[in-house]
Chains A and B, each alone.
Chain A
Amino acid sequence: MGIESSAHTFGAGIVDRGKVLANEKSMFPIGTNGMIPGKVAEFHSSNALKVVKAALDRAGTKLSEIEGISYTSGPGLGPCLQIGQLISKTLAKTLSISIAPVNHCVAHIEITRHFAKMRDPLVLYVSGGNSQILKLSEEPFRHYSVLGETLDIGVGNMLDNLARRLGLNPAWGSSVAKAAERGKYINMPYTVKGMDFSFTGILTFAEKMAGKEMPEDICFSVQENAFAMLCEATERAMFLTDSAEICVSGGVAQSRRLKEMLAQISREHGARIGYVSDELNADNGAMVALVGEKMLESGFKARLSDCVIDQKYRTDEAMVY
């Protein structure tokens, strides 16, 4: 079983030898205000057991059948991470089963790589707090090394902020995508530095445009520039690493427009692009369970006292099993 609670979603997933048996979640209602970590954590703690139980029911199994537990140890919001950590440690102790802390970003990437059946792809990881281009590296241990990344905020957070600023409801990237469907292009900043990129320039500019330009035009143009920046950096990394496979994961991988742009790259260079379903791209417990299962199968062992959280846990610090 895997527990995810790094941000707005509390998720519990159950996997068995790489197959997802259950993937239940409850999401903090975001409204037009965004998230206050303490409030979200409170919400999670009141829903956690319900979600765990729903996952067991869905998988048609009992707690006593669970062989190992894993939880998201970071990156994420401290109070939220703590809820998942606490539940997992409690379950590990009462059931006397092994426990594994999992890096949230690695979980997103690994579930995509697993289902897209890719061995050593170039990875475009796009989520709320993070946006990175990575590739597996064996030195000094097996991990995702960062080839390029955002120099400031994640693309998802940028879209969420924009939604909030424009008063869209829910204040979410998906609302930006919806508004963008009716938009036309206005000039926006575009910042790519080699394989790195930056999103605050676009956000500041778009915020200044609010009230002057139509919201749908702002949404459309922000998406066009932000996603094209990601595509350009990815394309550069593709050439550099000679990759013919791109694994795209994280919440923003649900974006239709981003998928269209990547399909264009795929047509131009003959690269294969791997995705998972939206349900598995959004924050979820199954991805944590999948990585946890791999870890425990390869003999990973941790004492309860080693099961900490790290709000700033970097993707490239996590060992990949």
Chain B
Amino acid sequence: MTLRLISEGAESKIYADDSFGVPLIVKARERKGYRIEGLDESIRRGRTRKEAKAMCKARESGANVPGIIAVGRFSIFMERKRGKMLKDVRFGNKEMRAAGAQLAKLHAAGIAHGDFTPANIMLCSNGPCIMDFGLAGIGGGDEEKAIDLLLMKRSVEKPQFSSFIKGYSAYANHKPVLKKLADIERRGRYKARTLQTV
């Protein structure tokens, strides 16, 4: 295997690999020196498993998500998508609407993404592909879903968010989530906070 480091996040390193004849991505959770070993292992193992599970479930829901090829103890091998991250390109209402439709599929399947920002969406030839399920939760309530909307809202312009919500409305249960979003925004904690994205 010839692993090529392509991205480094706070908890994982992303490598590209071509030695199997198909373009692969390996997402590997790194050992954290500040955590004692037993704890560190169980966290990394648990999160790797949880992320893989959320990705599989997301794919079953019909959302555009990289296909998983194998799951190791601390790493996920997945299909490498081609495209540019949404945060790095100029995008318009069409892309936003499509991204909203993707989130609608996730939420309909009971998946809250947990970090739904333009830094984790790739624009591919077949539309936006959702990545990084590292903070995803399965079976959560409207609150978790509303946080997905909130993060996106804080990351894009107003008209873009309106298009996003048009796409999102494909989710049958979208109304209570939008109501929850308004509630959260009214609460002090998030009002004062600037939710930043990479």
Residues of A within 8 A of B (CB): 137, 145-147, 149, 185, 187, 190, 193-194, 224-225, 227-228, 231-232, 235-236, 238-241, 260-262, 264-265, 267-268, 314, 316-317
Contacts and interface: CB of A to CB of B under 8 A. Distances in A.
A316 B192 contact: yes
Given A145-B194, A239-B198, A240-B198, A225 B39 contact: yes
Contacts of A190: 39, 43
B33 A264 contact: yes
A239 B11 CA distance: 10
A147 B135 contact: no
Contacts of B192: 145-146, 314, 316-317
Contacts, number: 70
B9 A145 contact: no
Contacts of A146: 192-194
22 contacts: A145-B194, A146-B192, A146-B193, A147-B193, A147-B194, A185-B39, A187-B38, A187-B42, A193-B114, A194-B115, A194-B135, A224-B39, A228-B32, A228-B36, A228-B39, A231-B35, A232-B10, A240-B197, A260-B34, A267-B33, A316-B193, A317-B192
A268 B194 contact: no
Contact of B196 (A241, A267, A317): A241
A267 B33 CA distance: 10
Interface in B48-65: none
B38 A185 contact: yes
B42, B115, B193 — most chain A CB neighbours (10 Å): B193
A228 B32 CA distance: 9
A231 B34 CA distance: 8
Contact of A265 (B34, B114, B193, B196): B34
A146 B189 CA distance: 9
Contacts of B196: 147, 240-241
B33 A235 contact: no
A231 B10 CA distance: 11
A314 B193 CA distance: 11
Contact of A239 (B9, B39, B115, B135): B9
Contacts of A231: 32, 34-35
B194 to A, nearest CB: 5
A194 B198 CA distance: 13
Given A145-B193, A228-B35, A239-B198, 7 more contacts: A145-B192, A187-B38, A194-B114, A231-B35, A235-B11, A240-B198, A265-B34
A238 B10 CA distance: 8
B154 to A, nearest CB: 12
A233 B39 CA distance: 16
A193 B196 CA distance: 15
Nearest to B43: A190
Q: Would you call the interface of chain B mostly helix, strand, loop, or mixed? A: loop
B188 interface: yes
Interface residues on B, range: 20 to 34
A58 to B, nearest CB: 38
A227 B39 CA distance: 12
A196 to B, nearest CB: 10
Contacts of A268: 33
Contacts of A137: 194
Q: Which 4 A-B pairs have the closest CB atoms?
A: A261-B34, A264-B33, A239-B10, A236-B10
A241 B198 CA distance: 7
Contacts of B33: 264-265, 267-268
A64 B43 CA distance: 59
B189 to A, nearest CB: 8
Nearest to B8: A239
A192 to B, nearest CB: 9
A147 B43 CA distance: 23
A29 B43 CA distance: 39
Contacts of A228: 32, 34-36, 39
Contacts of A193: 114, 135
A303 B190 CA distance: 31
Nearest to A233: B10
Contacts of B135: 193-194
Contacts of A262: 34
Nearest to B197: A240
Interface string B179-198: 00000000011001110111
Contacts of A227: 34
Contacts of B35: 224, 228, 231-232
B26 to A, nearest CB: 19
A147 B10 CA distance: 15
Contacts of A264: 32-34
A185 B36 contact: yes
Interface in B1-41: 9-11, 32-36, 38-39
